[in-house]
Amino acid sequence: MNKTFGFAQAALLRAFIAAVALCSLLASAAHAEAPGFTFTAIPDQDESQLRQRFAIVADHLSKELGVKVEYIPVKSYAAAVTAFRNNQVQLAWFGGLSGVRARGLVNNSQAIAQGAEDPEFKSYIIANRSTGLAAKPAFPSDTGELSFTFGSKGSTSGRLMPEYYIRKNTGLAPDKAFARVGFSGDHSRTIALVEAGSFDLGAVNYKVWDKAVAEGRVDTEKVTVIWTTPSYPDYHWTIRGDVDSQYGEGFSQRLQQVLIDIKQPVILEAFPRSGFIEADNNDFAPIESVARELGLMR
């Protein structure tokens, strides 16, 4: 009787060990099947500010989604689009133009959220005070002797829409409307170059300008806003069309809701935005139209 009981105990122990091993294997497999979620953003301003902003976003998304989320910085607007196309990132904070370009390269990708202010975005034309130009409702005339810098070549607020309105108001391409035209690379650099007098005029994202002025990082005795563009749709979050197949059905909808539900001042102030709202690919049709008109998209 005791011998039989001993055999039964041993069998139960073996079964228990096998069950533990199986659970461990299943957990390992589940972990292997749940890859980390990565995102990037267009490098539209100083890199240190971007790292600080998106590290906070990554932590928040990790907590809310139950998936390890990592921010991957890139060096250019084109690199952000390439990373999205190659599935190095599954989500990106794009400008209007970069978002349209990226979605054209990845089937079924969707704009899912935008800042509350982004449907009515705008650019400032700024000028070094030495030009003698002041703020006026009309676009400045007689700029043929002045130099002008855009931001990045792929920027909506730093290149696409300012160029569109330069052409519309002067009837000339930028290289004909100004004595010299350059590209600074980002909005922070545009402000610095115009403030230093390296360029007479520049085009800048109004949010970057307003935040820099509020934080005392602009010498308004040397540089000022002289014109504001009409509004247009711009920044937004875009997600790849194959995300649900990688992370589970409904993941993209959960992510969209998490972004829209962000209320923490530390996150919103870093963008800066008052909140996030739903976005749709159709919201950015005007950007695509202008990009094609200017030959910046095929």
pLDDT band at 34 (very low <50, low <70, confident <90, very high): low
Whole-number Å distance between alpha carbons of 109 and 103: 5
Structure tokens at 164: 């569109």
Q: 231: closest CA among 214, 212, 206?
A: 206
pLDDT at 9: 55
Least confident of 14-28, 102-116, 201-215, 256-270: 14-28
Q: What angle do CA 152, 157, 162 make, to 5 degrees?
A: 95
Whole-number Å distance between alpha carbons of 179 and 23: 71
CATH superfamily of 122-228: Periplasmic binding protein-like II (3.40.190.10)
Whole-number Å distance between alpha carbons of 203 and 138: 15
Identify residue 69 by its one-letter amino acid code.
V
> Taking residues 273-290, what's their average pLDDT?
97
* Strand pairing class (180-183; 37-41): unpaired
Answer yes or no: is pLDDT of 87 > 50: yes
Answer yes or no: is pLDDT of 49 > 50: yes
- Global pTM value: 0.84
pLDDT at 48: 86
pLDDT at 27: 40
Answer yes or no: is pLDDT of 13 > 50: no
pLDDT band at 263 (very low <50, low <70, confident <90, very high): very high
Q: Where are the domains of the chain?
A: 34-119+234-293, 122-228
Whole-number Å distance between alpha carbons of 114 and 296: 23
Going edge to edge, which strands form the sheet with 91-94?
69-71, 37-41, 91-94, 236-239, 110-115, 276-278
Is CATH 3.40.190.10 what the domain over 34-119+234-293 is classified as, yes or no?
yes
Whole-number Å distance between alpha carbons of 289 and 58: 33
> Taking residues 90-108, what's their average pLDDT?
97
- pLDDT > 70 fraction of the chain, expressed in percent and rounded: 88
63, burial (CB in 10 Å: exposed 0-12, middle 13-18, buried 19+): exposed
Question: In CATH terms, are 34-119+234-293 and 122-228 the same topology?
Answer: yes
Answer yes or no: is pLDDT of 31 > 50: no
pLDDT band at 165 (very low <50, low <70, confident <90, very high): very high
Answer yes or no: is pLDDT of 240 > 50: yes
> Taking residues 67-89, what's their average pLDDT?
96
